[in-house]
Structure 1
Amino acid sequence: MSKNLRFGKFASLVALTDEDTARSLMPEFKNFRVITGKVGTMDLKKVIASVETAAKREGLINGDFYRETHALYHAIVEAIQGVTRGDLAVGDIMRTVGLEFSIIRGEPYAEDSEGEWLAVCFYGTIGAPIRGKEHEALGLGINHI
């Protein structure tokens, strides 16, 4: 199986478990950069900002290069659409999220000329802003740099 078909699987494993577990299950991703974090909010902008801040703070992307920030933004939006079921809203419609996220950077294609890609995966809960009134959700976004 080509590496590219498993890039999202690796990002999902990191979000669902942890980096060490994911790397032990998929050692072919040893050279990929990994960032993890958590965010809980009723404000979708805070979800986006949390992921962008983590990626910049940890040096996963260079914020001075538009193409890197742009690629990350699109991967985040694609992933959050999975969590929100395509409806890019939380607080406006009385929903809250509690999410763990992974950001993965690397070259998932066998052909080097395909370049680097980013994957963002969210795993956690979404639902009414009342404890116990939420359910699990998972979202994945992948974009080229």
Structure 2
Amino acid sequence: MEKRGIGKIALLLSLGDGDIESLQKYYENKNYIIYRGQAGSMDSKKIIAAIETAASREDIIRENYHEEHALYHAIIEALSGYCRGQVLLGEVLRSAGLTFTIVRGTLVEDEPSSGNWIAVVLYGQIGSPRRGFEHEAIGMGIQPI
């Protein structure tokens, strides 16, 4: 099996329909820290806060500038992709309901020299706050710690 990058690992965990638990355990055994959660709002600040709170609560990041800053930029990068360039939701009458995945570990699987990184993937529905007027979207952010 080819070595996977942290982004592909996060994407597989976000998009997987099958046995996510076994895939998650496989990568946790390779020293990746993984968390999957859900968020939904018309306010991007609430989605950012939900991801930051989960990362802190699950000990994915510690309370220091470098780790918090890396997570923040990974979230903003992922939101930029998810929102297609404009990190705006309610301000432009859009809502989001998404699953987020946070992965922390080496940039490349089984290569400790690749350093410590964090990846955030957002996958779900975005669109008008009216039921049936939404569509799928995805965004990913990767930052070094």
Q: TM-score, normalised by structure 2?
A: 0.88
Partner of 2:101: 102
Partner of 2:51: 51
Q: Residue type of the partner of 1:138?
A: I
- What stretches of structure 2 of length at least 5 have no aligned partner? none
- Separation in 1 of the partners of 2:80 and 2:103? 18
Partner of 1:122: 122
How do 1:1-145 residues align onto structure 2 when only pairs under 5 Å count? 3=3, 6-17=5-16, 19-23=20-24, 27=26, 30=29, 31-63=31-63, 65-109=64-108, 111-145=111-145
Q: Describe the shift of the 1:87–1:125 C-alpha distance in structure 2 as closer, same or farther (beyond 3 A).
A: same
- Separation in 1 of the partners of 2:22 and 2:62? 27
> For 2:123, what is the secondary structure of its paired residue?
strand
Q: Return the offset for 1:23.
A: 3.7
Deviation string, structure 1 residues 9-44 (Cα, Å, up to 9, x no partner): 1101112237425347xx466321101111010000
Q: Return the offset for 1:82.
A: 1.1
> For 1:35, what is the secondary structure of its paired residue?
strand
Q: Describe the shift of the 1:141–1:2 C-alpha distance in structure 2 as closer, same or farther (beyond 3 A).
A: farther
Q: Describe the shift of the 1:28–1:37 C-alpha distance in structure 2 as closer, same or farther (beyond 3 A).
A: closer
Alpha carbons 1:10, 1:22 under 8 Å: kept: no
Q: TM-score, normalised by structure 1?
A: 0.88
> For 2:126, what is the secondary structure of its paired residue?
strand
Alpha carbons 1:14, 1:21 under 8 Å: kept: no
Q: Residue type of the partner of 2:47?
A: V
- What stretches of structure 1 of length at least 5 have no aligned partner? none
- Separation in 2 of the partners of 1:38 and 1:119? 16
Q: Residue type of the partner of 1:122?
A: L
Q: CA RMSD in A?
A: 2.0
